[in-house]
Amino acid sequence: MSYLTRRNLLRGGLAATAALPLLDARRAVGQDAAPTRLVVFATPNGTRNDLFWPTGSETSFQLNQLTAPLEPHKSKLTFLKGIRLNDSLQNGALGGTLGSEHARGTGGMLTARPLNAGREFQSFGNTTSGWGSGQSIDQYLAEQLAPPTTFKSLQLGVHVRDTEVRARISYSASNQPIPPREDPKDVFSALFGAAAPGGDTDAELERLWAQRKSVFDLTRAEMNRIQQLVGAEDRARLDAHLTAMRDVEQRLVKVSGMPGLEPTASCSPPSLTEVDLSVDDQYEQAGRLQMDLAAAALACDQTRILTLQWSYAESEHLFQFLGHSGNHHVISHDFSPSGTNFEAYNAIQTWYAEQLAYFLSKLDGYQEGDRTLLDNTLVLWATEIGESTQHDLTLMPYVLAGSAGGKIAAGRLLDFSQNRRDNNQLLVSLAHALGADDLQSFGDESGASGPLPGLV
């Protein structure tokens, strides 16, 4: 890996984790617990219940067709059957009227809140809608837990491409969607610093950091001054900007005299290969790179909160590389219980499960003391709707992987079908698993408070 010079590491994100090898050493002798991480793995266009859910009992179950690729990880999975989106996100009769199910399910996935009212999105709504109306759980946790990592959270995407409401799952606040990074080269640069401009000597690097700091200071001072002049809404806008600056400053501005960093076995950048992000047929290659980078970011403790989003809700992605010619969204709405689209849909959903399996294997390959990185992580596999032909939102196909460092007893099929739980409760449970124990409720009030029973 020619990119991986000490200077490049210093230039990029890893510079801020210069103490990492030490941390690793402490972990190896059991002196320091490995951190707990959260990953959201989001794929589009729902599922098909009768081929998705495992059969059997809570602790003894068989995987179904669409999740068969996850068999090697079965003991580390938790299927959460019987979770519905709360009333504010439901179909019209149950109260949710803002935006289409695809858009609502996307905006509500991690916020448990309805979309804002508005006429901004007319094309995809039962009525119309604006953008998401509040903070998502990943951002809440990044703020509450304030992990000492280079990236408070990291949003990665694979062929997301779309920039409308149906393509954003992460929100800092109402009307503040967070765009994902979709280019592996860009992610690599951010994590490992190879592409950041700068000089060739340590002295030049330190100079660059000092200059960046000067500019940050000037910008911040001026923004603070302007905040005193403008109205409340613009002040909030500038506040978000200042927060974002604080987030990046710690990784773009370093201090001099930092100890050197050498890559360790458990923390090294993946190799990059060329992909054409505009070509649907290279979906898997692009996805692999993003998953490799995500795993490296977690292993290197660059971030503990990460979202990995595949395409956009209502995706029309093509799967010719699987031998199917139709587009995913149209395929997903074919009621026929057999035939071309039936086969194609099953193949696509199974393919997504294969991608998740690859990612889980990757995480499971990092040893952290007597656990693996996967054990120390909680991965939520989510999609914006349930039964795809129905735009159903009352039985969401949620699966967890990993155990958040032992907080979750995995290898279970939890079935709430007889007493449906709201997605708010899942988000509260995620927070508890990550250590935000005080959280009682999250999201819209129409959803139940408290965690999912028997999970964490």
Binders of other proteins in range 364-393 (CB under 8 A): 389-391
Closer by beta carbon to other proteins, 251 or else 421: 251
- Give least dist CB 222 to other proteins, A: 6
Q: CA–CA separation, 290 vs 386, rounded Å?
A: 26
Largest separation between any pair of C-alpha atoms in the chain: 67
For 427, phi and psi rounded to 5 degrees? -65, -40
Closer by beta carbon to other proteins, 30 or else 92: 92
**Range 161-200, binding other proteins (CB under 8 A):** 161-164, 168, 172, 175-179, 181, 186, 190, 196-197
C-alpha Rg value of the chain to the nearest Å = 22
Decide if residue 336 touches other proteins (CB under 8 A): yes
Could you tell me the CA-to-CA distances from 404 to 33, 89, 171, 176, 304 in Å, in that order? 12, 28, 23, 28, 11
**Cα dihedral across residues 393, 445, 430, 109: positive or negative:** positive
Distance between start and end Cα atoms, the chain: 41
- Give least dist CB 144 to other proteins, A: 17
Q: Which of 1, 25, 28, 226 binds other proteins (CB under 8 A)?
A: 226
Q: CA–CA separation, 68 vs 172, rounded Å?
A: 35
Closer by beta carbon to other proteins, 80 or else 313: 313
- Give least dist CB 247 to other proteins, A: 4
Closer by beta carbon to other proteins, 183 or else 415: 183
Closer by beta carbon to other proteins, 24 or else 101: 101
Q: Which of 41, 61, 131, 359 binds other proteins (CB under 8 A)?
A: 131
Instruction: Give kind and range of the element (H or E) at residue 236.
Output: helix 232-252
- C-alpha 238 chain-centroid distance: 25
Closer by beta carbon to other proteins, 131 or else 398: 131
Residues with Cβ within 8 Å of 341's Cβ and at least 6 positions away in sequence, in order, are 326, 330, 331, 334
Q: Show the site string, 52-91: x = touches other proteins by CB under 8 A, - = not.
A: ---------------------------------------x
Q: Which of 222, 343, 437, 445 binds other proteins (CB under 8 A)?
A: 222
**Range 285-324, binding other proteins (CB under 8 A):** 316-318, 320
